[in-house]
Structure 1
């Protein structure tokens, strides 16, 4: 086969397909033309491969067909604009939309932690039943503080990030079952309450709060959000409203995944604070101030950026064009 003649014969069709692929929108006639050209160029590629395999031509036609396939099927690659849209609209809107759930979870958890801590202070046998006197002394005097400086900063930050991300992921992944989320949340909250009580009962309360608050404000908020999202996911099929249980669960599941992706970044920030700020030589007030600023920025992100996105109609779910068709359910 004369490759040059073959190229001269069909290059016009290739260029036309490339032109259609490069357009942002196609009319109905242009979409039909794109599909027709896609089939023709596929045949051209097969002929070139079997008769006169030219690496550069094969590569060009393969790339062109891949782009045409993406255009025809409506799929697209993720771009920086997608990421910007996610963090300025989808994620904050989802947080704002679920605010009542995670604020209630936060308040209830903090109250439970203080109740457990107050009870443990008045019942020191709680500590002695789990630890020996030597272990208690070591924890209070050295171990609790050294935990934050045991590893180099650049190793400790990723360590706590992955640990906290795992806890948050469990809360969301097990949310459809409900009770496991409550168990995970209670375990973490009670653990913090007992640890605080142990330190306070040995006059080390200022050290405890000085080390917990810088990173703990944002970190625990992220865990509370994850737990609340898991519980909302559970409630979505218990009380689906006007939708079917499957449609309700699917919609909340998509929103839960959006929040889960966003929390990865939130926990990355809290992990960085825990790895670099908490064990630093900064004064206690300065470290706590950094934690307060991080927490304040998160709330501003939700109630300013998130509220604005929600009022613009963003729900935290995927775009309507990407959602499966749903049928209304009779009340």
Structure 2
């Protein structure tokens, strides 16, 4: 962004908003409507500057102006449904979209660990003795793995899965407070567990059963976990290297954005849990069950890319403080 050109293009708007804020007790009806409109426009300007510029002076000036205007604008708050729609079309997808490099990197490293361990365990029978006794391994590959998905009623199992997966995602996001340092270890534990089971199942010629039970729900489930880990580590890194902006400001902005991801992932993992409880153990052909999982995964990624890229181009960051809290009345 050319900051000087941006300031030159919008200074008149900012000055006009500042004038209206100063005269807030003597505004006409038309001027009140104008103030609301300018407040929303300058809020968008602030989002654009934050995302494309390191000019802390300009960010501070616009932040102060937007805060003053927000305090003036009363009685025209956006209805709850509008905030709900904004969350799902802006706040959540834009944070996920902006984190795509961390998200993709997390997925690549996680799956590399899974494949490496699966090949190691599956190709070396001596490793099996360190994992468990032959009877324990036989119980796992021939009974426990498959029965896990069908031994409980679908409703209670879906709730159990959702709570467990939400806890893993919440840990990833919560560890952002510790600069994301524990997150790689947490992800490694999950990757190691998945890789060992995969190796044992393939070694017992149960690879088709393993994939048929893991893929329908696992694609979306792991995608959600990757995203949780990515945003947590990204927040930690941005606190370590905030650039030209104050570290406290970066922490506040990114922390609010991470909260949006936490809420969004709760819904994503609920969908994953429902698929795991109702599709994974169903009598449908394996190809159909996997097809459902792929469809759900593609739908989620398409949603994030479409709405996230659109919001990012508009200068949105996912910070709830940037969300207009008023509805135009003019």
Provide TM-score, normalisation by structure 2: 0.74
SS in 2 for 1:319: helix
Deviation for aligned residue 1:108? 1.4
Report the equivalent of 2:242.
240
Select the structure of larger CA radius of gyration.
1
1:295 pairs with one of 294, 297, 311: 297
Report the equivalent of 1:159.
160
SS in 2 for 1:174: helix
Q: List per-residue Cα deviations over 1:3-37 (Å, max 9, x = no partner).
A: xxxxxxxxxxxxxxxxxxxxxxxx82379xxxxxx
Structure with greater contact order relative to length (CA < 8 Å, sep ≥ 6): 2
Deviation for aligned residue 1:320? 3.4
- Judge which range, 227-236 or 164-173, deviates more: 227-236
Deviation for aligned residue 1:134? 1.1
Deviation for aligned residue 1:71? 9.4
CA distance in 2, matches of 1:87, 1:97: 15
Would you say 1:125 and 2:126 are equivalent positions? yes
Report the equivalent of 2:229.
227
Gap change, CA 1:106 and 1:74, over 3 Å in 2:
farther
Q: List per-residue Cα deviations over 1:45-80 (Å, max 9, x = no partner).
A: xxxxxxxxxxxxxxxxxxxxxxxxx99878968711
Report the equivalent of 1:23.
none
The gaps in structure 2 that reach 5 residues or longer are 1-22, 28-70, 325-330
Report the equivalent of 1:96.
97
Report the equivalent of 2:175.
174
Provide TM-score, normalisation by structure 1: 0.74
Deviation for aligned residue 1:126? 2.9
Deviation for aligned residue 1:176? 3.0
Q: Answer whether contact 1:176 1:231 (CA < 8 A) is retained.
A: no
CA distance in 2, matches of 1:186, 1:132: 24
Structure-to-structure mapping, 1:1-331, within 5 angstroms: 28-29=24-25, 79-177=80-178, 178-320=180-322
CA distance in 1, matches of 2:214, 2:201: 12
The gaps in structure 1 that reach 5 residues or longer are 1-26, 32-69, 323-331
CA distance in 2, matches of 1:213, 1:321: 37
CA distance in 2, matches of 1:71, 1:276: 51
CA distance in 1, matches of 2:128, 2:203: 11
SS in 2 for 1:242: coil
The runs of 4+ residues in structure 1 deviating greater than 4 Å are 70-78
- Judge which range, 312-321 or 280-289, deviates more: 312-321
